[in-house]
Amino acid sequence: MCSYETIIGLEVHVQLNTKTKIFCACATSFGDEPNKNVCPTCLGLPGALPVLNKEALKKAISFGKAIDATINQNSIFARKNYFYPDLPKAYQISQFEIPIVGKGSLNIELDNQSKTIGITRAHLEEDAGKNIHEEGYSKVDLNRACTPLLEIVSEPDMRSSDEAIAYLKKLHSIVRFLGISDANMQEGSFRCDANVSVRPQGDSKLYTRVEIKNLNSFKFIQKAIEYEVQRQRAAWEDGRYEQEVVQETRLFDTSKGITRSMRGKEEAADYRYFPDPDLLPVYIEQQLLQEAEQIPEMPDEKRERYINTLGIKPYDANVLTSSLELCLFFESMLEHNISPKNALTWLTTELLGRLKGELTLQNCGISPTKLATLVQRIEEGKISGKSAKEILDTLVQNPSNDVDSLIDSMGLAQMNDDSALLSIIESVLNANEDKVAEYKSGKDKLFGFFVGQVMKNTKGANPQRVNELLKDKLNSH
């Protein structure tokens, strides 16, 4: 049986988080009353002229900087002509020949191996509106029309759905760390079109590609790609490739887990691109370019710093840098001068492990300061790790509680008074002279027995200090 190679390229549409639309002053807020945020420009009324949003331009440049791409100081906008009910002008203002962002790349890691995925371009364009289909009729909401999008086009460098998801997650984290988009997939701020083709292993030819449109969850993107790969492989094996695999746009049916034909796929010539006569060519001045290129620390840079400076293991560094919220929480904890490793454990294992159902890091009510205070009390020896877990359980249930107040009210403070501990140790040893003799004769395992007896006779003693004092006392007894 012939083996096949999968070829995947992705087009990702990122909604930029500007306050106003890309060519007019209408708000970009999500969830407003339908057709509230519209004006003559985004409705495409005669005589209305577009004006480019400078902030959208800056955000596009900052993305280019993050992927080490070429930034084109001279760029033009074009009209992409097609008719659809949610496109009031019957054309979309986009970019064709000269995009803002040229060739770049990003690295993904999968199974402890690194791979570079090429990015062909990233161009600015306006979004369309939204069609709402209800029983018997359809409606159009144009609030989203003219919202700024950054379309990021990859090279066909991915060879599996796993690689595609790793690329998308990396891209998602980059735009979030840059602060140029909330990348909320449920609201459509980060959505993907997947171009998928299959060829016999060893063949260098690129065969017919199928586009799967408007995927907005990592889970469904992976399932859609995997189904399409199987469909095309089956067509190859049945000898029906040319009949069944045609250049088209398909949709993913999430209820059935299959892709189905939507329409024939257009070529660039079908869109009749031409420079938009209402928009001047864009020239990015040097000052604006320098401003836009001042970007924050990116996930890969943070990862290297966590590993090399903070001593965090690579796996844990990957976990932290997978989410902007995790990174910000972690770094806020470190401002309280606690151990990075303890901060990591109590954030990723203890706190996240307790967040079930609707609870998230953002809405659980436990601040980085509160969790750092809990870690501080452990490091100070005021409470044990076991006691800290009890306190965290209580905080998750009622986050308004104060750490120090809970330590007192729950009676969890460790005894750190050496004189009191020595008195208890002395009484335990005197009550078990036979076992002391056995210990001194070589039965080292009895040390655990003595520790247990001391802990039983104290109310929350510091185990480490008990061990130290007990060892000294036994050696001198």
Q: Is the pLDDT of residue 303 over 70?
A: yes
Burial tier of 357 (Cβ tally within 10 Å: 0-12, 13-18, 19+): exposed
- Residue 472: per-residue pLDDT: 78
Place of tokens 């889970």: 219
Residue range 186-206: average pLDDT?
A: 92
Burial tier of 158 (Cβ tally within 10 Å: 0-12, 13-18, 19+): buried
Which helix (H) or strand (E) segment is 463 a member of? helix 463-476
Q: Is the pLDDT of residue 461 over 80?
A: no
Residue range 85-112: average pLDDT?
A: 93
Q: Is the pLDDT of residue 231 over 80?
A: yes
Instruction: Identify the weakest region by mean pLDDT among 7-21, 282-296, 312-326, 400-414.
Output: 400-414
Q: Residue 459 — pLDDT band, cuts 50, 70, 90?
A: low
Q: What is the pTM of this model?
A: 0.84
Domains contained in the chain, CATH given: 4-291 (no CATH), 297-410 (no CATH), 418-476 (1.10.10.410)
Place of tokens 């009910």: 85
For 111-156, the pLDDT digits (tens) are 889 999 999 999 999 999 998 888 888 999 999 999 999 999 999 9
115 secondary structure, DSSP code: E
Question: How many Å apart are CA 148 and CA 462, to the nearest integer?
Answer: 58
Residue range 309-316: average pLDDT?
A: 95
For 354-400, the pLDDT digits (tens) are 999 888 999 999 999 999 999 999 998 888 888 899 999 999 999 99
